[in-house]
Structure 1
Amino acid sequence: MADSPTARRRRLAIELKKLREGSQLTCNQVGEALSWSGSKVNRLETGSGRVQPSDIDALCRYYGTSDELRELLMALAKDSKLRGWWQAHGTGVPRWFAGYVGFEQAASSLRQYQCEFIPGLMQSPEYTAELHLASNQMSAADFERAVKVRTERQSLLTKASAPDAWFIVHESVLRHVIGDRKLMRDQLERMLVVSELGNVTLQVLPFTAGTYPATGAFTILGFPEQEDPDLVYRDGLTDATYLETPHDVGQYTKAFDNLRALASSPSQSTALIRRVMEEHSQ
């Protein structure tokens, strides 16, 4: 079972939709049979509404599920109401980003392309602080919380069940000076240290790579159980987009594979990062 409340909520929504579609019923038909609105059924199937175990019990009895499945789904409903560790930091984690952190904690694989900034899981506290200062959208207290959350997230890569993480960064990310050159030199050194982890692969897409899919930054998250399909995440300044249809995920998977083929090998990427570090030392 997925090990974050966010992922459990998604699993529950997927299973509820599967049950309804298997019964060849619409949301309105199910809602009418249970004296609910069709929109309530839809909210439960999209994970956007409050989930009560009693609602899940009613749905399962209506669909005629086994006792075992009903108990499993009710347990998911209860667990989905728990708070993740990141939620203890309050507004230091924007609401639109909290969902991503929950999915990240449950992922078994991460494939990420960054064309503007160092991947969050590789950032030094100083680099992260500079990015948050530039946004100028947080109070002093939330600023400290945000930096702390970013640092705590990074333990994901070294835990016992760490995901297989593959990062591709554009060369411009290495040369974009955030803070000052010393900060950037230290940041690139941190990248190299993280890239030495057995579950981490790092490639750089060099300026000489030629044309490539103009996708912008994105992350593809994979999950340990087959019932939880891959998810594509893209973020903006104040919001986030999740894509999970087979077509959309397939398109981004193809884009990532193309970027991987065009990028320098891990060893060549390490050499390039060291050259840029020397430039930042001058």
Structure 2
Amino acid sequence: MAGSPTARRRRLAIELKRLREDNKLTCNDVGKALDWSGSKVNRLETGQGRVQPSDIDALCRFYETSDDLRELLKELAKQSKTRGWWHAYGSAVPSWFSVYVGLEAAASSLRTYECEFVPGLLQTEGYARELHLATSQSHPDDVERMIAVRMKRQALLTCPHAPTLWAIMHESTLRHTVGDKDVMCAQYERLLDVAQLKNVTVQVLPFDAGSYPATGAYTILGFPEQEDPDIVYRDGLTDAVYLEQVEDIACYARSFDDLRALALSPRRSSNVIRQLMT
């Protein structure tokens, strides 16, 4: 079972939807049978509503599930209500990004492509501060909390069950000066250091790679259990898109494989980064 409240909430929603679909019923069918609205059933299946133990009991009786499955679903519902460490940072983690942090914490693999800035998990504190000051209209104290969240997220890469991270950055992200020369040199050093980790691969997509199959940054998150399908994350300044359809996942996976083939090898990528430090 994936290990964050967000991932458990997602797993619960997936299981509830699977039960309904296995019984060849619509949300309205289930709602009518249980004297609920179809929209309530939909909310439970999309993780948008808080699932109560009584809801699990009613659904399991209706679907005639085993006692073991009912208890598993109840445990998922209970664990999904716990608070992740990031909730302590309040408004520094907006709701649309809180979902991502929770999924990231439970992921076993992360494949990310960036075409504007260094990926958040690889940024230095100085680099992150420059970005937040340029894009945020928040109070300075909130900006510092945002930076603290970003730095704490990076502990994920060196924890006992660290996910694999494969990061591809367009060369422009490295040549785009954020802050000043000192900030960039520290950022280059950070990239070289983290690229030495066994679970991290860093590649640079060079300017002369020609056309390539991507129209913006994205991250594909994979999870340790088969019951938790991959998800694609794309974000903006004030919102994010989460893609879970099989066809979407396959499209982005192909895109990432093509980008890997076009990008410089990890060794040549490190050499490019070293050259930028001189």
Who is 1:104 aligned against?
A: 104
Q: CA–CA distance in 2 between the matches of 1:137 and 1:63?
A: 49
Name the amino acid aligned to 1:191: L
Who is 1:159 aligned against?
A: 159
Name the amino acid aligned to 1:104: E
Who is 2:36 aligned against?
A: 36
Who is 2:267 aligned against?
A: 267
Identity of aligned residues (%): 67
Name the amino acid aligned to 2:2: A
Q: Is the 8 A contact 2:209 2:263 kept in 1?
A: yes
Give 1:140 shift. Answer: 2.0
* Runs of 4 or more above 3 Å deviation: none
Who is 2:201 aligned against?
A: 201
Please state whether the residue corresponding to 1:117 is helix, strand or coil: coil
Q: CA–CA distance in 2 between the matches of 1:42 and 1:31?
A: 9
Q: CA–CA distance in 2 between the matches of 1:20 and 1:192?
A: 49
Who is 1:6 aligned against?
A: 6
Who is 1:242 aligned against?
A: 242
Q: Is the 8 A contact 2:136 2:143 kept in 1?
A: no
Q: Deviations over 1:50-109 (max 9, x none)?
A: 221221121111100000000000100011011000011000111110000000000000
Match status 1:70 vs 2:32: no
Q: Deviations over 1:114-162 (max 9, x none)?
A: 0000010010011111111001321222111100000000000000000
Who is 1:211 aligned against?
A: 211
Please state whether the residue corresponding to 1:221 is helix, strand or coil: strand
Name the amino acid aligned to 2:3: D
Q: CA–CA distance in 1 between the matches of 2:195 and 2:136?
A: 31
Please state whether the residue corresponding to 2:277 is helix, strand or coil: helix
Q: CA–CA distance in 2 between the matches of 1:218 and 1:75?
A: 32
Please state whether the residue corresponding to 1:211 is helix, strand or coil: coil
Structure 1: give runs of 5+ residues left out of the alignment.
none
Who is 1:277 aligned against?
A: 277
Who is 1:57 aligned against?
A: 57
Q: CA–CA distance in 2 between the matches of 1:19 and 1:201?
A: 39
Give the aligned length.
278
Q: CA–CA distance in 2 between the matches of 1:53 and 1:191?
A: 46
Q: CA–CA distance in 1 between the matches of 2:83 and 2:28?
A: 31
Who is 1:127 aligned against?
A: 127
Q: CA–CA distance in 2 between the matches of 1:127 and 1:228?
A: 33
Name the amino acid aligned to 1:236: G
Q: CA–CA distance in 1 between the matches of 2:229 and 2:164?
A: 16
Structure 2: give runs of 5+ residues left out of the alignment.
none
Who is 1:46 aligned against?
A: 46
For 1:163-202, what aligned pairs fall within 5 Å after superposition? 163-202=163-202
Q: Is the 8 A contact 2:14 2:45 kept in 1?
A: yes
Name the amino acid aligned to 1:123: Q
Q: Is the 8 A contact 2:219 2:233 kept in 1?
A: yes
Who is 2:226 aligned against?
A: 226
Please state whether the residue corresponding to 1:113 is helix, strand or coil: strand
Q: CA–CA distance in 1 between the matches of 2:54 and 2:6?
A: 20
Q: CA–CA distance in 2 between the matches of 1:63 and 1:137?
A: 49
Q: CA–CA distance in 2 between the matches of 1:67 and 1:214?
A: 47
Match status 1:138 vs 2:147: no
Q: CA–CA distance in 2 between the matches of 1:186 and 1:141?
A: 24
Q: Which region of structure 1 is more displaced relative to structure 2, 49-58 or 6-15?
A: 49-58
Q: Is the 8 A contact 2:13 2:45 kept in 1?
A: yes
Q: CA–CA distance in 2 between the matches of 1:13 and 1:261?
A: 36
